[in-house]
Amino acid sequence: MQTKDTFVLFRTPHSKHFTTLRQKNAPRTFLSLTDIPLTGGYVIAPFTTTDSCPIVFIEPDSITTNELVLPKLNVPHSMVSTLNEETERSDYSRAFNTIKHLLNEASPKVEKVVLSRRLHCISLNLTQAQELFAKACYYRPSSYVALWYTPQTGYWLVATPEPLLEYAHHQWNTVALAGTLPFVEGIKPQWNEKNCEEQAIVARFIEKQMQGVAINVQKSETFTLQTGNLQHLCTHFCFNLAATDDVRTLLTKLHPTPAVCGLPREAALQTILQTEASERQYYAGFSGPLFLEGHTNLYVSLRCMSFNKQSATLYAGGGIMPQSTEQEEWDETQRKLITMKQLL
Protein backbone atom coordinates (compact mmCIF):
# COMPACT_ATOMS: atom_id res chain seq x y z
CA MET A 1 0.00 0.00 0.00
CA GLN A 2 2.99 2.32 -0.42
CA THR A 3 2.19 3.55 -3.94
CA LYS A 4 -0.26 6.38 -4.52
CA ASP A 5 -0.43 5.97 -8.29
CA THR A 6 -3.77 4.82 -9.58
CA PHE A 7 -3.86 1.06 -10.12
CA VAL A 8 -6.26 -1.82 -10.67
CA LEU A 9 -5.77 -5.57 -10.34
CA PHE A 10 -8.55 -7.73 -11.69
CA ARG A 11 -9.22 -11.38 -12.44
CA THR A 12 -12.19 -12.68 -14.38
CA PRO A 13 -14.01 -15.80 -13.09
CA HIS A 14 -12.02 -19.07 -13.19
CA SER A 15 -9.00 -17.41 -14.84
CA LYS A 16 -5.47 -18.47 -13.86
CA HIS A 17 -4.14 -15.01 -14.70
CA PHE A 18 -4.76 -11.47 -13.50
CA THR A 19 -4.33 -8.09 -15.15
CA THR A 20 -2.65 -5.02 -13.65
CA LEU A 21 -3.46 -1.49 -14.84
CA ARG A 22 -1.45 1.56 -13.80
CA GLN A 23 -1.99 5.25 -14.43
CA LYS A 24 0.37 7.98 -13.19
CA ASN A 25 -2.02 10.92 -13.46
CA ALA A 26 -5.30 11.13 -11.59
CA PRO A 27 -8.11 9.52 -13.60
CA ARG A 28 -10.87 11.52 -15.22
CA THR A 29 -14.21 11.62 -13.43
CA PHE A 30 -17.78 11.93 -14.65
CA LEU A 31 -21.20 12.53 -13.14
CA SER A 32 -23.23 10.66 -15.75
CA LEU A 33 -22.88 7.29 -17.45
CA THR A 34 -23.90 8.96 -20.71
CA ASP A 35 -20.57 10.84 -20.66
CA ILE A 36 -18.11 8.00 -20.07
CA PRO A 37 -15.65 7.39 -22.92
CA LEU A 38 -15.88 4.31 -25.11
CA THR A 39 -12.24 4.53 -26.16
CA GLY A 40 -10.97 1.83 -23.78
CA GLY A 41 -10.47 2.01 -20.04
CA TYR A 42 -11.56 0.77 -16.63
CA VAL A 43 -14.79 2.11 -15.13
CA ILE A 44 -15.52 2.45 -11.41
CA ALA A 45 -19.10 3.60 -10.86
CA PRO A 46 -20.76 4.29 -7.48
CA PHE A 47 -24.23 3.25 -6.42
CA THR A 48 -25.36 6.85 -6.90
CA THR A 49 -23.17 9.52 -8.45
CA THR A 50 -22.35 12.69 -6.52
CA ASP A 51 -19.62 15.33 -6.63
CA SER A 52 -17.85 13.54 -3.77
CA CYS A 53 -18.44 10.06 -5.24
CA PRO A 54 -18.05 10.34 -9.02
CA ILE A 55 -17.68 7.81 -11.81
CA VAL A 56 -13.94 7.19 -12.23
CA PHE A 57 -12.52 6.29 -15.63
CA ILE A 58 -8.99 4.86 -15.64
CA GLU A 59 -7.00 5.12 -18.89
CA PRO A 60 -3.94 3.02 -18.08
CA ASP A 61 -0.39 3.95 -19.01
CA SER A 62 0.58 0.28 -18.66
CA ILE A 63 -1.27 -3.03 -18.87
CA THR A 64 0.34 -6.31 -17.77
CA THR A 65 -1.02 -9.82 -17.39
CA ASN A 66 0.59 -12.31 -15.04
CA GLU A 67 -0.04 -15.80 -13.76
CA LEU A 68 -1.93 -15.82 -10.49
CA VAL A 69 0.20 -16.99 -7.55
CA LEU A 70 -2.01 -18.28 -4.77
CA PRO A 71 -1.24 -17.03 -1.26
CA LYS A 72 0.22 -18.98 1.63
CA LEU A 73 -2.85 -19.75 3.70
CA ASN A 74 -1.10 -21.36 6.66
CA VAL A 75 -0.25 -17.94 8.07
CA PRO A 76 -2.52 -17.30 11.09
CA HIS A 77 -5.12 -14.60 10.64
CA SER A 78 -4.36 -11.41 12.51
CA MET A 79 -6.71 -10.26 15.22
CA VAL A 80 -9.90 -8.68 13.90
CA SER A 81 -12.22 -6.65 16.05
CA THR A 82 -15.46 -5.06 14.97
CA LEU A 83 -16.64 -1.58 15.85
CA ASN A 84 -20.14 -0.36 16.69
CA GLU A 85 -21.86 -3.75 16.22
CA GLU A 86 -24.70 -2.81 18.56
CA THR A 87 -25.23 0.50 16.79
CA GLU A 88 -25.17 -1.22 13.41
CA ARG A 89 -27.77 -3.76 14.56
CA SER A 90 -30.12 -1.08 15.90
CA ASP A 91 -29.70 1.04 12.75
CA TYR A 92 -30.56 -2.00 10.64
CA SER A 93 -33.64 -2.76 12.74
CA ARG A 94 -34.90 0.80 12.44
CA ALA A 95 -34.39 0.85 8.66
CA PHE A 96 -35.95 -2.60 8.21
CA ASN A 97 -39.09 -1.62 10.10
CA THR A 98 -39.40 1.60 8.12
CA ILE A 99 -39.19 -0.31 4.84
CA LYS A 100 -41.61 -3.03 5.97
CA HIS A 101 -44.13 -0.33 6.87
CA LEU A 102 -43.84 1.13 3.36
CA LEU A 103 -44.19 -2.31 1.74
CA ASN A 104 -47.32 -3.13 3.73
CA GLU A 105 -49.21 0.09 3.09
CA ALA A 106 -52.63 -0.24 1.45
CA SER A 107 -51.25 1.28 -1.77
CA PRO A 108 -47.49 0.72 -1.47
CA LYS A 109 -45.14 2.95 -3.49
CA VAL A 110 -42.48 0.22 -3.47
CA GLU A 111 -42.64 -3.56 -3.90
CA LYS A 112 -39.00 -4.32 -3.08
CA VAL A 113 -36.20 -2.38 -1.38
CA VAL A 114 -32.63 -3.61 -0.95
CA LEU A 115 -31.39 -2.73 2.52
CA SER A 116 -27.63 -2.72 3.06
CA ARG A 117 -25.41 -2.54 6.11
CA ARG A 118 -21.76 -2.13 6.97
CA LEU A 119 -19.32 -3.89 9.28
CA HIS A 120 -16.40 -1.80 10.52
CA CYS A 121 -13.31 -3.83 11.38
CA ILE A 122 -9.89 -3.16 12.84
CA SER A 123 -7.26 -5.58 11.56
CA LEU A 124 -3.48 -5.89 11.64
CA ASN A 125 -3.44 -7.68 8.31
CA LEU A 126 -4.17 -4.89 5.82
CA THR A 127 -0.68 -3.65 4.98
CA GLN A 128 -0.35 -5.82 1.85
CA ALA A 129 -3.25 -5.08 -0.46
CA GLN A 130 -2.10 -7.56 -3.10
CA GLU A 131 -2.21 -10.39 -0.55
CA LEU A 132 -5.87 -9.59 0.05
CA PHE A 133 -6.45 -9.73 -3.70
CA ALA A 134 -4.71 -13.11 -4.00
CA LYS A 135 -6.67 -14.54 -1.08
CA ALA A 136 -9.94 -13.34 -2.60
CA CYS A 137 -9.00 -15.06 -5.87
CA TYR A 138 -8.26 -18.27 -3.96
CA TYR A 139 -11.46 -18.31 -1.89
CA ARG A 140 -13.72 -17.16 -4.75
CA PRO A 141 -12.54 -18.82 -7.99
CA SER A 142 -15.93 -18.32 -9.69
CA SER A 143 -16.16 -14.61 -8.83
CA TYR A 144 -14.87 -11.50 -10.52
CA VAL A 145 -12.17 -10.15 -8.20
CA ALA A 146 -10.83 -6.60 -8.38
CA LEU A 147 -8.60 -4.44 -6.23
CA TRP A 148 -8.25 -0.76 -7.00
CA TYR A 149 -6.84 2.47 -5.68
CA THR A 150 -7.55 5.93 -7.04
CA PRO A 151 -7.19 9.33 -5.35
CA GLN A 152 -10.96 9.75 -5.63
CA THR A 153 -11.99 6.37 -4.19
CA GLY A 154 -9.19 5.14 -1.96
CA TYR A 155 -8.68 1.35 -1.68
CA TRP A 156 -11.48 -1.10 -2.54
CA LEU A 157 -11.59 -4.87 -2.92
CA VAL A 158 -14.45 -6.66 -4.71
CA ALA A 159 -15.23 -10.38 -5.13
CA THR A 160 -18.56 -10.41 -6.91
CA PRO A 161 -20.63 -13.11 -8.65
CA GLU A 162 -22.84 -10.72 -10.62
CA PRO A 163 -22.03 -9.45 -14.13
CA LEU A 164 -23.83 -6.28 -15.14
CA LEU A 165 -22.71 -6.25 -18.78
CA GLU A 166 -20.18 -8.40 -20.63
CA TYR A 167 -19.15 -8.91 -24.25
CA ALA A 168 -18.00 -12.36 -25.36
CA HIS A 169 -18.22 -14.43 -28.54
CA HIS A 170 -19.78 -11.52 -30.47
CA GLN A 171 -22.66 -11.22 -28.00
CA TRP A 172 -23.54 -9.06 -25.03
CA ASN A 173 -24.57 -10.71 -21.76
CA THR A 174 -26.21 -9.82 -18.47
CA VAL A 175 -27.93 -11.71 -15.67
CA ALA A 176 -30.82 -11.38 -13.25
CA LEU A 177 -29.28 -12.59 -9.99
CA ALA A 178 -31.27 -12.50 -6.76
CA GLY A 179 -32.54 -14.68 -3.94
CA THR A 180 -30.05 -16.13 -1.48
CA LEU A 181 -29.67 -19.39 0.43
CA PRO A 182 -26.67 -20.90 2.20
CA PHE A 183 -24.93 -23.59 0.17
CA VAL A 184 -24.91 -27.05 1.78
CA GLU A 185 -23.09 -29.83 -0.08
CA GLY A 186 -25.45 -32.55 -1.30
CA ILE A 187 -28.68 -30.75 -0.36
CA LYS A 188 -30.93 -29.39 -3.10
CA PRO A 189 -32.01 -25.80 -2.38
CA GLN A 190 -35.66 -25.22 -1.53
CA TRP A 191 -36.52 -21.81 -2.96
CA ASN A 192 -39.47 -20.19 -1.21
CA GLU A 193 -41.97 -17.73 -2.69
CA LYS A 194 -40.09 -14.69 -1.39
CA ASN A 195 -36.81 -15.68 -3.09
CA CYS A 196 -38.51 -16.66 -6.37
CA GLU A 197 -40.47 -13.43 -6.60
CA GLU A 198 -37.44 -11.35 -5.63
CA GLN A 199 -35.48 -12.84 -8.53
CA ALA A 200 -38.43 -12.62 -10.94
CA ILE A 201 -38.68 -8.88 -10.22
CA VAL A 202 -35.07 -8.43 -11.37
CA ALA A 203 -35.61 -10.53 -14.51
CA ARG A 204 -38.74 -8.61 -15.51
CA PHE A 205 -36.94 -5.30 -14.94
CA ILE A 206 -34.00 -6.29 -17.16
CA GLU A 207 -36.32 -7.46 -19.95
CA LYS A 208 -38.21 -4.18 -19.82
CA GLN A 209 -35.09 -2.00 -19.74
CA MET A 210 -33.58 -3.77 -22.74
CA GLN A 211 -36.58 -2.95 -24.92
CA GLY A 212 -35.68 -0.44 -27.61
CA VAL A 213 -31.94 -0.93 -27.06
CA ALA A 214 -31.07 -4.65 -27.24
CA ILE A 215 -31.88 -6.82 -30.24
CA ASN A 216 -31.97 -10.60 -30.75
CA VAL A 217 -32.54 -11.13 -27.02
CA GLN A 218 -32.31 -14.71 -25.74
CA LYS A 219 -33.35 -15.62 -22.20
CA SER A 220 -32.35 -18.76 -20.31
CA GLU A 221 -34.39 -20.77 -17.85
CA THR A 222 -33.86 -19.72 -14.25
CA PHE A 223 -31.25 -21.87 -12.49
CA THR A 224 -29.36 -22.08 -9.19
CA LEU A 225 -25.89 -20.55 -9.17
CA GLN A 226 -23.46 -21.41 -6.39
CA THR A 227 -21.00 -18.72 -5.31
CA GLY A 228 -18.82 -19.87 -2.42
CA ASN A 229 -20.88 -20.40 0.72
CA LEU A 230 -24.05 -19.03 -0.93
CA GLN A 231 -26.34 -19.83 -3.84
CA HIS A 232 -28.64 -17.61 -5.84
CA LEU A 233 -31.35 -17.81 -8.49
CA CYS A 234 -30.07 -16.69 -11.88
CA THR A 235 -31.48 -15.98 -15.35
CA HIS A 236 -29.03 -15.34 -18.18
CA PHE A 237 -29.67 -12.93 -21.07
CA CYS A 238 -27.64 -12.68 -24.28
CA PHE A 239 -28.30 -10.10 -26.99
CA ASN A 240 -26.84 -7.73 -29.57
CA LEU A 241 -26.59 -3.96 -29.75
CA ALA A 242 -27.06 -2.06 -32.97
CA ALA A 243 -24.39 0.54 -32.19
CA THR A 244 -21.47 0.96 -29.78
CA ASP A 245 -23.04 4.10 -28.30
CA ASP A 246 -25.97 1.96 -27.12
CA VAL A 247 -23.70 0.66 -24.33
CA ARG A 248 -24.03 3.98 -22.49
CA THR A 249 -27.81 3.95 -22.93
CA LEU A 250 -28.13 0.38 -21.68
CA LEU A 251 -25.90 0.97 -18.65
CA THR A 252 -28.02 3.96 -17.70
CA LYS A 253 -31.19 1.90 -18.02
CA LEU A 254 -29.83 -1.10 -16.08
CA HIS A 255 -27.91 0.52 -13.21
CA PRO A 256 -28.87 0.21 -10.44
CA THR A 257 -30.90 -2.96 -10.98
CA PRO A 258 -33.55 -4.13 -8.50
CA ALA A 259 -30.97 -6.68 -7.27
CA VAL A 260 -29.15 -3.82 -5.46
CA CYS A 261 -31.82 -1.12 -5.34
CA GLY A 262 -35.46 -2.21 -5.59
CA LEU A 263 -38.61 -1.52 -7.56
CA PRO A 264 -39.93 0.87 -8.73
CA ARG A 265 -36.36 2.04 -9.02
CA GLU A 266 -36.71 5.75 -8.23
CA ALA A 267 -39.01 5.18 -5.25
CA ALA A 268 -36.74 2.43 -3.90
CA LEU A 269 -33.67 4.62 -4.39
CA GLN A 270 -35.20 7.49 -2.44
CA THR A 271 -36.19 5.06 0.33
CA ILE A 272 -32.60 3.79 0.54
CA LEU A 273 -31.14 7.29 0.67
CA GLN A 274 -33.55 8.26 3.44
CA THR A 275 -33.31 5.13 5.62
CA GLU A 276 -29.76 3.75 5.40
CA ALA A 277 -27.45 5.08 8.08
CA SER A 278 -24.56 5.97 5.74
CA GLU A 279 -23.75 6.30 2.05
CA ARG A 280 -22.99 3.19 0.03
CA GLN A 281 -20.30 4.97 -2.01
CA TYR A 282 -18.95 2.35 -4.46
CA TYR A 283 -20.74 -0.60 -2.88
CA ALA A 284 -23.57 -1.75 -5.22
CA GLY A 285 -22.06 0.28 -8.04
CA PHE A 286 -20.10 -1.52 -10.75
CA SER A 287 -16.58 -1.75 -12.11
CA GLY A 288 -14.59 -3.41 -14.85
CA PRO A 289 -12.86 -2.99 -18.20
CA LEU A 290 -14.91 -1.22 -20.86
CA PHE A 291 -13.64 -1.78 -24.42
CA LEU A 292 -10.18 -2.23 -22.90
CA GLU A 293 -8.09 -4.05 -25.50
CA GLY A 294 -11.38 -5.29 -26.93
CA HIS A 295 -12.73 -6.60 -23.61
CA THR A 296 -15.79 -5.51 -21.62
CA ASN A 297 -16.45 -7.16 -18.25
CA LEU A 298 -18.53 -4.92 -16.00
CA TYR A 299 -19.52 -6.44 -12.65
CA VAL A 300 -21.78 -5.21 -9.86
CA SER A 301 -19.68 -4.29 -6.82
CA LEU A 302 -21.00 -6.80 -4.28
CA ARG A 303 -19.04 -8.72 -1.58
CA CYS A 304 -16.70 -5.78 -1.20
CA MET A 305 -14.83 -3.63 1.27
CA SER A 306 -13.08 -0.29 1.43
CA PHE A 307 -9.93 -0.20 3.55
CA ASN A 308 -6.73 1.48 4.67
CA LYS A 309 -3.68 0.13 6.51
CA GLN A 310 -5.47 -0.73 9.76
CA SER A 311 -9.21 -0.80 9.22
CA ALA A 312 -11.83 -1.94 6.74
CA THR A 313 -15.50 -1.35 6.09
CA LEU A 314 -17.35 -4.40 4.77
CA TYR A 315 -20.67 -4.13 2.92
CA ALA A 316 -23.64 -6.47 2.42
CA GLY A 317 -27.34 -6.18 1.68
CA GLY A 318 -30.51 -8.08 0.91
CA GLY A 319 -33.86 -7.53 -0.75
CA ILE A 320 -36.73 -6.67 1.58
CA MET A 321 -40.12 -7.93 0.40
CA PRO A 322 -43.53 -7.95 2.13
CA GLN A 323 -42.81 -11.57 3.25
CA SER A 324 -39.37 -10.72 4.74
CA THR A 325 -38.57 -11.15 8.42
CA GLU A 326 -35.93 -9.05 10.12
CA GLN A 327 -33.87 -11.89 11.62
CA GLU A 328 -33.75 -13.85 8.35
CA GLU A 329 -32.60 -10.78 6.42
CA TRP A 330 -29.99 -9.91 9.06
CA ASP A 331 -28.69 -13.49 8.96
CA GLU A 332 -28.43 -13.29 5.17
CA THR A 333 -26.19 -10.22 5.43
CA GLN A 334 -24.07 -12.03 8.02
CA ARG A 335 -23.47 -14.88 5.56
CA LYS A 336 -22.61 -12.45 2.78
CA LEU A 337 -20.08 -10.65 4.97
CA ILE A 338 -18.11 -13.88 5.37
CA THR A 339 -16.69 -13.44 1.85
CA MET A 340 -14.66 -10.42 2.91
CA LYS A 341 -14.27 -11.11 6.63
CA GLN A 342 -12.38 -14.37 6.00
CA LEU A 343 -9.68 -12.37 4.18
CA LEU A 344 -8.77 -10.27 7.23
What is the set of domains in the chain, with CATH numbers?
6-71+79-341 (3.60.120.10)
Q: How confident is the model at residue 127 (pLDDT cuts 50, 70, 90)?
A: low
Asked whether residue 166 carries a pLDDT value surpassing 60, the answer given is: yes
d(CA 95, CA 107): 20
Asked whether residue 68 carries a pLDDT value surpassing 90, the answer given is: yes
Burial of 287 (0-12, 13-18, 19+ CB in 10 A): buried
Q: How confident is the model at residue 125 (pLDDT cuts 50, 70, 90)?
A: low
| Beta partners for residue 154, in sequence order | 150
Q: How confident is the model at residue 74 (pLDDT cuts 50, 70, 90)?
A: low
Asked whether residue 80 carries a pLDDT value surpassing 80, the answer given is: no
Q: Which helix (H) or strand (E) holds 135?
A: helix 129-139
Q: Choose the weakest-confidence range: 236-245, 267-276, 305-314.
A: 305-314
Look at residue 174 in the predicted model and tell me its pLDDT.
Answer: 98
Look at residue 78 in the predicted model and tell me its pLDDT.
Answer: 56
Look at residue 85 in the predicted model and tell me its pLDDT.
Answer: 79
Question: Average pLDDT for residues 322-334, to the nearest whole number?
Answer: 95
For 118, list phi and psi in degrees, rounded to 5: -125, 155
Q: How confident is the model at residue 77 (pLDDT cuts 50, 70, 90)?
A: low
Reported pTM: 0.95
pLDDT digits (tens, 9 = 90+) for 145-158: 999 999 999 999 99
pLDDT digits (tens, 9 = 90+) for 22-39: 999 999 999 999 999 999
CA proximity to 316, closest of 151, 86, 114: 114
Look at residue 279 in the predicted model and tell me its pLDDT.
Answer: 95
d(CA 161, CA 177): 9
d(CA 103, CA 110): 6
d(CA 61, CA 49): 26
Asked whether residue 2 carries a pLDDT value surpassing 80, the answer given is: no
What is the residue-averaged pLDDT of the chain? 93
Asked whether residue 1 carries a pLDDT value surpassing 80, the answer given is: no
Look at residue 122 in the predicted model and tell me its pLDDT.
Answer: 84
Look at residue 294 in the predicted model and tell me its pLDDT.
Answer: 93
Look at residue 343 in the predicted model and tell me its pLDDT.
Answer: 87
Question: Average pLDDT for residues 104-112, to the nearest whole number?
Answer: 91
| Beta partners for residue 311, in sequence order | 122
Asked whether residue 326 carries a pLDDT value surpassing 60, the answer given is: yes
